[in-house]
Amino acid sequence: MTQPSAARPAGHLLVEALIEQGVATVFGVPGESYIAVLDGFYEHRERIRFIACRQEGGAAFMAEAQGKLTGRPGICFVTRGPGATNASIGLHTAFQDSTPMLLFIGQVASEQRDREAFQELDYRQMFGPGTLGFAKWVGEVHDAARLPEYVARAFHTAMQGRPGPVVLVLPEDMLTALTDAPVLPRVEPALAWPAPGALCELRTLLLAARRPFVIVGGSGWDAAGCAAMQRFAENWSLPVGCAFRFQDLFDNRHANYAGDVGIGINPILAQRIAQADLVLAVGPRLGEMTTGGYTLLRAPRPAQTLIHIHAGPEELGRVYAADLMLQSAMACAAKALEGLAPPPSLPWGAWTGDAHADYEANHVPVPVEPLDMAELVKTIQRLAPADSVLTNGAGNFSGWLHRFYRYPGLQHGGRTQLAPASGAMGYGVPAAIAASLLYPARTVISLAGDGDFLMTGQELATATGYGAGTGPGKLIVIVVDNGSYGTIRMHQERAYPGRVSGSDLFNPDFAALAQAYGWRAGRVETSAQFEPAFGAALAADRPTLIHVRLDPDISTSRTTLTAIRRVARER
């Protein structure tokens, strides 16, 4: 514990506490309910910066991306009432994606509580923890002297067990109160290791298998853990798939890689998982997206022998009655698995080789004219630096990125995929801006749908204002414009063929809009036009938006709306 300081406003103490935790960047939208904290950021402006965003949803997405990139809580500040409700989308994403994050909310003064004062809400009721909640914990600080205690607890809670978001509510009068309380030292999470006996049982189950399959996912991984996981897979010749939107946890170029297990899964891979006699799930929650609506693994009792390793005890047994459950942090679990000695020979070598061959075959697309999204993604892969960060929001457009981009594991340069497992639209652009601001030497590329982009596209102004994409690394946003909410249109055609309602979009000139924000911009309508446009973006001295026009009939990387409609009418 540091020595007591001279009396200063609690808002300044809060900033000092964040600095002690190693925080150098926070995101938010300013509000009068926490101006004492804003003054603290000014006081300590040489050590920490406040990135003022254009809407609280964008700010919360940036903080969530910060948590994914760093492994420590991303930090977001918003004001009471509308600020908190706007930020809830980022909070929900952090909860479903198991991302460490702290949301600080200004609150009405204590003497005004429970009167429905201006913009007053009860955040313990609104975001209260629970099985399907927004946050792991919601605390409200009434005593300035206890603020360091609350901040330390928030960091511990956000990082330990299943990582996730925490909300701290800050009454306006508490933030202006003077205190000489000292800050507490940097928090490091307590990490659980798997029990030795359970590891022995795991090895026994694995030795009894003939068609095993590994699914890696979830948060809490680091470079060493991913490297250990890869060595475990090599030692045991195991096929490995990555859970929905956690594709950068295992090197997609590796001979043991079998593909992504999520929306738009390769049908051959889905069949392989169904045929497996043992599934080892290391880290994923085994939610709806990864399990194909709880069908790849039948709930609650799968046909396959199931071994589930997860950091949160509440997650083990929630849906699936696994044959073996181990509670462990991912970094610890991977290192423990690496230590399991394999037998001299294994019976599933061909099974693993075939799984990787199926993945490679899935990389061969059916050519599309005039603009082929598969070729666009492959061009990005070929031209962009190997450690580039790829971001996306929600929409069918992301399927091409999932299928055709090969993500390296974390041991090859850190996180390279930022995408919402929660399925939140509008995530990609704020996440890309956050990544560019936090790691200015890395190139960041966001793939966004037209509906997806317009939910948070105003954050281009934030990028311009704070110089994102002007350093060694580049910042590039690619807007895929098909004039519709493509995922919804696809579902409409499947359920009600030809009866389209509410899914058409009426879009602006995206290139002109980006130029108004001070970005470079261009328009692409054919595959041949993309490579020179992308190359110019990589050479530019400021951020670039590329507006890509896609035929509305091109629904996914596997089918068209015409085909979907025809099949639906034939049923």
Q: What is the pLDDT of residue 4?
A: 55
Phi and psi at 351, nearest 5°, equal -60, -45
Q: Give domain status of residue 50, yes or no.
A: yes
Displacement of CA 291 from its chain's centroid (Å): 18
* CB 112 within 8 Å of CB 80: no
Q: What's the CA gap between 97 and 91, in Å, rounded?
A: 10
Structural domain harbouring 149: 8-179
In total, how many domains does the chain have?
A: 3
Of 456, 448, 459, 460, nearest to 514 (Cα)? 460
Closest CA to 530 of 373, 399, 392: 373
Domain boundary among 338, 361, 384: 361
Residues 263 and 126 reside in one and the same domain: no
Residue 235 scores a pLDDT above 90: yes
Return the amino acid letter for 165: P
Single pTM value for the model: 0.96
Q: Judge if 136 and 257 occupy the same domain.
A: no
Residue 186 domain-assigned? no
Tell which of 179, 204, 228 closes a domain. Answer: 179
Query: Domain check: are 166 and 204 in the same one?
Result: no
Query: Which segments of 415-549 does DSSP mark as H helices, in order?
Result: 428-438, 450-456, 460-465, 486-495, 510-516, 527-539
The pLDDT tens digits of the residues spanning 330-356 come to 999 999 999 999 999 999 999 999 999
CB 138 within 8 Å of CB 128? yes
Regarding whether 117 and 259 lie in a shared domain, the answer is no
Tell me, yes or no, whether 273 and 413 share the same domain.
Answer: no
Q: What is the CATH number of the domain that holds 402?
A: 3.40.50.970
Query: Is 403 part of any domain?
Result: yes
Residues 164 and 215 in one domain: no
Closest CA relative to residue 74, chosen from 66, 86, 85, 82: 66
Q: What mean pLDDT comes out for the span 534-540? A: 98
Whether 393 and 336 map to the same domain: the answer is no
Same domain? For 155 and 280 the reply is: no
- CA dist 139 and 150 (Å) reads 7
pLDDT at residue 1 tops 50: no
- Within 104-262, residue ranges assigned H as helices are 123-127, 147-159, 172-176, 196-207, 223-236
* Domain C-terminal end among 336, 361, 386: 361
User: What are residue 75's DSSP bridge partners?
Assistant: 102
Q: How far apart are CA 108 and CA 121, in angstroms?
A: 9
Whether 255 is in a domain gets the answer yes
**What would the mean pLDDT of 29-50 be, rounded to a whole number?**
97
* Distance in angstroms (rounded) separating the CA atoms of residues 27 and 481: 29
Average the pLDDT over each of 111-115, 169-173, 450-454, 458-462 and give the range with the smallest value.
Answer: 111-115
Quick one: DSSP state of residue 298? T
Please write the tens of the pLDDT for every residue from 288-340: 999 999 999 999 999 999 999 999 999 999 999 999 999 999 999 999 999 99
In a domain, 58, yes or no: yes
* Beta partners for residue 215, in sequence order: 241, 281
Mean pLDDT of the chain: 95
Same domain, 351 and 381: no
What does the pLDDT look like over 133-175, one tens digit per residue?
799 999 999 999 999 999 999 999 999 999 999 999 999 999 9
Give 61-79 pLDDT, tens digit per residue: 999 999 999 999 999 999 9
Answer yes or no: do 446 and 509 share one domain. yes
Please check whether residue 367 lies inside any domain of the structure. Answer: no
Note whether 422 and 92 are within 8 A (CB).
yes
Asked if residue 368 is part of any domain, the answer here is: no
Asked, as a colleague might, if the bond just before 300 is cis with ω within 30 of 0, I would say: yes
What local confidence, expressed as pLDDT, does residue 571 receive? 80
What mean pLDDT comes out for the span 504-529?
Answer: 97
pLDDT band at 121 (very low <50, low <70, confident <90, very high): confident
Residue 130 pLDDT > 70, yes or no? no
Helix crossing, 10-20 with 147-159: angle to 10°? 40
* 263 inside domain: yes
CATH number at residue 356: 3.40.50.1220
| pLDDT value, residue 111 | 80
State the SS3 of 257-269.
EEEEECCCCCHHH
At 120, list the tokens: 């007053």
pLDDT at 3 over 60: no
Verify that 380 and 349 share a domain, yes or no. Answer: no
- Taking the C-alpha atoms of residue 107 and residue 113, their distance in angstroms, rounded to an integer, is 9
41 or 263, greater pLDDT: 41
Same domain, 438 and 526: yes
